[in-house]
Amino acid sequence: MYDDFFVNVFMDRSWITASRISDKYKNGVEEFLQFAKRNGIGVNNKYYCPCVNCVNVIRQDIELLREHVLCDGFLKSYTIWTWHGEVLEQYSSKSTTECEYSNVYSEDCMEDMIRDIEEDSFHQAHVYGSLKDDSVTELYPGCSTFSRLSTVLRLFNIKARNGWTDKIFTELLELFHQILP
């Protein structure tokens, strides 16, 4: 178990920025998939897809995940694989001999993200309960792919990546409000 910890922490991730047609990239993708299957929490054998289009919001089966990452590319900023079972404490300033391996998982990492921003602050503002509810509420009845929270986070990600102004983003949200049930 400790051996797996040190292999995971010190695994070479330079493949993420390598050419997608290189053996280095392909081998890195296979290592990542093995890591995800071994450490991640799959829901119906589906894992968050770290390709540049799904951005760890959409779950895919391993074969489709492999295809996405090989064809579309792996998120270059995703070097600590928290959505696939890697624990952030592994990268703290402690020496490796002081590090402890921890297998702390939840079915949906949204809760972890909310908790990281200090749960007490959210309770005081009554926002924590709302965010927690939105993380499990379907975007619309029958939509099992997106929760309210995952949709908002994905939209903000698109806004940030493309440099949209608040005005453009507000207009888009108003349009969605009119379109969606």
Q: Give the count of domains, the chain.
A: 1
Residue 160 lies in a domain: no
Residue 33 lies in a domain: yes
What is the dihedral angle through the alpha carbons of 14, 19, 81, 169, rounded to the nearest 10 degrees?
130
Residue 173 lies in a domain: no
> What pLDDT was estimated at residue 111?
55
Residue 146 lies in a domain: no
Domain that holds residue 59: 1-104
Residue 165 lies in a domain: no
Residue 138 lies in a domain: no
Query: Which pTM was predicted?
Result: 0.48
Residue 139 lies in a domain: no
> What pLDDT was estimated at residue 49?
92
Tens digits of pLDDT across the chain (181 residues): 434 444 445 578 999 999 999 999 999 999 999 999 988 878 888 999 999 888 888 889 999 999 999 999 998 888 888 888 876 544 444 433 333 333 333 344 555 555 555 545 544 555 666 777 888 888 888 888 888 888 888 888 888 878 888 888 889 889 988 987 7
Nearest to 68 by CA among 44, 107, 36: 36
Q: Is 161 left (phi over 0), alpha (psi -120 to 50) or beta?
A: alpha
Residue 175 lies in a domain: no
> What pLDDT was estimated at residue 35?
92
